[in-house]
Amino acid sequence: MDSPTAHAAFDIPAFLQTERRRVEAALGRALGALLPLAPVLTRDAIRQGVTTGGKRLRPILCMAAYEALGGSPRHGIEELAVSLELIHAYSLMHDDLPCMDDAPLRRGSPTPHMVYGEPAVVLGGAALISLAHLHLWRTSGAMGLSDPVRRELLRVLARAAGAEGMVGGQALDLWGEGRSLGRQELDELHRRKTGALLTASLELGAVAALPALDHPAREAMVAYGGAIGLAFQIADDVLDATADAEALGKAPSDAALDKSTYVALLGVEGARKAAGHQVAEARAALAGAGIEAPALEALADYVVTRDR
């Protein structure tokens, strides 16, 4: 999908490659510390869910927000940021279960329950939720953040992952199967299911970097996150409708699951335009707060131009 605002000066492929390496290294360290705390039955499933592929977008956004707001890359933000990836990994492990989307394939590989069985994935996913929060608590302490800031970080992650956010969105998603949802209902579903954790990624970076919890730059990051969250989902629907399972590395499609999508509602071109509109809103949120962040601007474009 071409973005009218594509950022020629910023080398997004090189940036993503460097940042992914940073995230993968921190994920390896996190798993080294956390896997011994998980039941033996769940360890292989957790390892597969966390380490097999993935764009690592949520930690990358968190690190980019932190650094855009003056946080130093030397302070270990990537250790904290992988808490988001642990929650994301659990959500995909559970999302693929037979009682949810019943998906055999993700990221080009058989899903963890196909390899290790449902009990390992149900329990491993559940273990990841608390391990992610424990990891956030430990890493924010190691960064030297104050206790009020650390509590706020935990609150942001817990709210985004839970009933008000991703789990609530997933419930709306299941309820919506076989129903024809309108634009407002679809936006609400995806603000929660996909958008809440993406927004929390920006917010965690902002809270960790800023000198005050009520700093206006935090609101700008939340607005940017909300806009790219919707853009991400609209782009996902376009990819789902226009690329095949092999290219995407996942199955089944939204159509096979009888889900409402932005493409069904707006058509492919209408959905592309709507995604572009959200990207413009995301950029406006940064500009309105005077935040200069070439990486975040380029990431907003990447969200709608990615091919998987």
Side-chain half-sphere CA neighbours of 291 within 13 A: 31
CB of 268 to ligand GRG, least distance (A): 18
The secondary structure of 257-280 as a DSSP string is: TT---HHHHHHHHHHHHHHHHHHH
Comparing CB distances to ligand GRG, the nearer of 123 and 167 is 167
CB of 89 to ligand GRG, least distance (A): 8
Tokens of 48: 């597969």
205 close to 83: Cβ distance less than 8 angstroms = no
What residue has token string 């196909």? 114
Task: Give the burial string for 168-183 (b: 16+ CB within 10 Å, else e).
Answer: bbbebbeebeeeebee
What residue has token string 């995806």? 190
CB of 210 to ligand GRG, least distance (A): 26
Comparing CB distances to ligand GRG, the nearer of 22 and 150 is 22
What residue has token string 């949120």? 285
Comparing CB distances to ligand GRG, the nearer of 235 and 291 is 235
CB of 308 to ligand GRG, least distance (A): 7
CB of 193 to ligand GRG, least distance (A): 5
CA–CA dist 60, 63 (Å, integer): 5
254 close to 279: Cβ distance less than 8 angstroms = no
The helix/strand/coil state of 255 is coil
CB of 162 to ligand GRG, least distance (A): 9
Q: Which residues contact 133 (CB under 8 A, 6 or more apart)?
A: 83, 154, 157, 158
Comparing CB distances to ligand GRG, the nearer of 111 and 139 is 111
Comparing CB distances to ligand GRG, the nearer of 152 and 254 is 254
CA 173 to chain centre: 17
CB of 292 to ligand GRG, least distance (A): 26
Comparing CB distances to ligand GRG, the nearer of 71 and 125 is 125
Comparing CB distances to ligand GRG, the nearer of 126 and 268 is 126
Binding site for ligand GRG (CB under 6 A): 54-55, 57, 88, 91-92, 94-95, 100, 107, 166-167, 170, 193-194, 236
Task: Give the burial string for 38-60 (b: 16+ CB within 10 Å, else e).
Answer: beeebbebbbbbbebebebbbbb
